[in-house]
């Protein structure tokens, strides 16, 4: 990263080995401290070079979330805040978020960090599982092999079929959910699109 962005070489060290060998002498310990100081400089220089602070501020302005949370790389949270603001503009009331198993509501501070519940355990946000990837079958293939890779599959389906919480017809008498068809973009207003479809269009 230093060589690519800054054009400067960084010395790679094994911290455990460096502390075991360098810290044995005064000069070695001083060299290790100077190496750590150089690493701090490299981090700050890369951040300034790629303009990470202004870009993070732009992302925060677009999403409407906390700047500190944007700096920590919470992409899913930014998407969530974009949806929340759009639902609010369309006069929807979003339910409180539920965390953990058993629908236990998590108490969070202003930064969105988990706090201890009555049992003393810290409730963390659930991780989302990625797509299922099958292991390839080893062997010699003497027939054609077709590989299909869909880019932005979920957003494309959302746009094509106008799938959103606001376009689902909920009926307790049936065991399925009916989706309203996607309107004509040339003659449609914001309200005829679902909120998610409108944000992706």
pLDDT, tens digit only, all 201 positions of the chain: 888 888 887 878 787 887 788 778 888 888 888 888 988 898 898 888 889 889 999 999 989 998 888 888 778 888 889 888 988 888 888 888 777 655 444 444 444 444 445 555 555 666 667 777 778 888 888 888 777 776 666 788 888 888 887 777 766 655 544 555 555 555 544 447 788 878 877
Domain residue limits, the chain: 2-50, 53-103, 153-200
CA–CA separation, 9 and 21 (whole Å): 23
Specify whether the CB–CB gap between 123 and 106 falls below 8 A: yes
Helices (H), the chain: 15-22, 26-49, 52-63, 67-71, 75-89, 153-161, 195-200
pTM for the complete prediction?
0.52
CA–CA separation, 181 and 195 (whole Å): 14
Q: What is the CA radius of gyration of the chain?
A: 25
Q: How far is CA 50 from the centre of its chain?
A: 20
């Amino acid at each position: 990263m230093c060589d690519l962005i800054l054009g400067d070489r960084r010395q790679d060290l094994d911290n455990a080995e460096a502390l075991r060998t360098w810290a044995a002498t005064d000069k070695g310990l001083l060299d290790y401290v100077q190496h750590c100081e150089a690493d701090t400089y490299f981090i700050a220089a890369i951040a300034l070079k790629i303009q990470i602070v202004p870009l993070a501020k732009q992302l925060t302005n677009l999403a409407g979330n906390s700047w500190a949370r944007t700096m920590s790389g919470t992409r899913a949270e930014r998407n969530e805040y974009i949806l929340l603001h759009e639902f609010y503009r369309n006069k929807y009331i979003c339910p409180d978020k539920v965390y953990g198993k058993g629908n236990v509501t998590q108490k969070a501070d202003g930064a969105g960090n988990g706090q201890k519940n009555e049992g003393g355990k810290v409730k963390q946000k659930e991780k989302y599982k990625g797509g299922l990837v099958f292991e390839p079958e080893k062997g010699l293939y003497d027939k054609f092999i077709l590989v299909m890779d869909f880019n932005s599959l979920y957003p494309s389906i959302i746009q094509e079929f106008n799938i959103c919480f606001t376009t689902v017809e909920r009926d307790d008498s049936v065991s399925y959910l009916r989706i309203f068809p996607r309107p004509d973009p040339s003659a449609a207003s914001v309200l005829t699109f679902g909120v998610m479809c409108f944000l992706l269009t």
